[in-house]
Structure 1
Amino acid sequence: MKRHRHFTLVLVAALLFGGPAAAKAPTTWDGLVQVKSKRLNLVYLQPGADFRVYTKVMIEPTEVAFAKNWQRDYNRTASSLSGRVSDSDVQQALTKAVKAADDIFTEAWTKGGYMVVTEPGPDVLRVQTGIVNITVNAPDQPTAGRSYSFSGEAGYATLFVEARDSMTGALLGRAVDQGVAGDNSAAWRTSVSNRADFRYLVEDWAKAGVRGMTELKALSPIKP
């Protein structure tokens, strides 16, 4: 059930920000109501939810996924076989990304004054986060000869966040946001600069989530 829920969230994020044919965002979602947000594209909250009781967070492992056809489409345009992205490259990148994202979110919540715990409790908020639809414009794959990777941005990704009461599992809120990594007009891209640019994007999302929690406490209980 838990895995199915996470897959559903990834699918919805893909539909909302999947390109020209992206679906129109619903006004309600599993009993949540869409509210305006200055920080994220889409935010949904449970009417009546009270976030003031939460002083700790239980962080689930970050879901990380590339855009469905990103590897295939990139390899079609690669100038040589050595410049293609292999299945091994993708799996290694995902493993490193999960670890990096988990560290970033843990650090952000800790700096925000929340204790990060591993067990449920009456004052514990359970947070599930995902970084999906990842597209890297210029992966900078090693090739036999000297080559350079160029792109106006490092790439794109979509964030989704789900918050639940850790004791009851009650759904309190969800958010979805599309972001651009490395939107700095640096045409020459390297593996090092790509990692740094995507890290900056995730750090911005993590900080926005903690600031958003502070705002939700001030607004609690959430009005219908």
Structure 2
Amino acid sequence: SFITSYASAGSQKTMFLGDYYNKMKPGAKGEGKLHWIKPGVDFSKYKKVMVDYVIFAFAEDAEYKGIDANEMKDIGDRASLALINSVKEHFTVVSKPGPDVIRVRTAIVNLKPSKPGLSAVTTVIPVGLGISLFKKGATDSWTGSGGTEAEMMVLDSMTNEVLASAHDKKTAEFDERFTKWGSVDESFKFWGELFSKRLNNLFR
């Protein structure tokens, strides 16, 4: 399972990073809005990447935290696949730890879904990697807006020592209708490519 976290103005801490929140600082271009890298790490020894399943975490102050289990499984699969496909463009992806393998954990955090009305046909889905309430209409399309915070943690796969962490925040507003999953997949692709670039920067 995949997660990282951060704290800054307008964002809430999730519980994953613990003391690493205090270590994270604003990043330069290509490093994430907040990031931390363990001093003295020789990243050149790592040749392969093990990718954990992407996690979704609700904000502590979210009014409503319910979501259909099957739908969450579906979007989790899609997000994880998008990340793996992006990482594969630059690294060899493996499923087991090794001395030359880094482990990557990621999370989409601080989500605030709306509570569906009792009389409405509704569902909670991520859009632009944010989760909002969308009402299904006769045209089988969806409308809404949302934003998201995504985080990454890099670990040594043998010891699980944390080597780096990063946080990025994206806000998206939507004023046009879109198919249910089309926009979601584009968002997962965006985050997958971004985190792949973050990994590349570590190996420079």
Q: Structure 2-normalised TM-score?
A: 0.71
Q: Which amino acid aligns with 1:50?
A: D
One of 131, 136, 140 as aligned partner of 1:141 = 136
Question: What is the rounded CA distance, in whole Å, between the counterparts of 2:55 and 2:162 in structure 1?
Answer: 18
Residue by residue, what CA displacement relative to the aligned partner does 1:190-220 show, whole Å, maximum 9, x if unpaired?
A: 452xx333332332222122222222222xx
SS in 2 for 1:44: strand
Q: What is the aligned partner in structure 2 of residue 204 from structure 1?
A: 190
Residues 68-217 of structure 1 correspond to what in structure 2 (within 5 A)?
68=60, 72=64, 87=66, 89-112=67-90, 114-134=91-111, 135-141=130-136, 150-151=143-144, 154-181=145-172, 183=173, 186-190=174-178, 192=180, 195-217=181-203
Flag the structure with higher strand content.
2
- The 1:72–1:169 alpha-carbon spacing in structure 2 relative to 1, beyond 3 Å, is closer
Give the number of the structure whose alpha-carbon radius of gyration is greater. Answer: 1
Q: What is the aligned partner in structure 1 of residue 52 from structure 2?
A: 60
Question: What is the rounded CA distance, in whole Å, between the counterparts of 1:90 and 1:68 in structure 2?
Answer: 19
SS in 2 for 1:29: helix
Counting matched residue pairs gives: 180
| Structure 1: gaps (5+ residues) | 74-86, 219-224
Q: Structure 1-normalised TM-score?
A: 0.66
1:38 aligns with 2:29: yes
Task: Please provide the CA RMSD for this pair.
Answer: 3.3
| Structure 2: gaps (5+ residues) | 14-18, 112-129
1:51 aligns with 2:43: yes
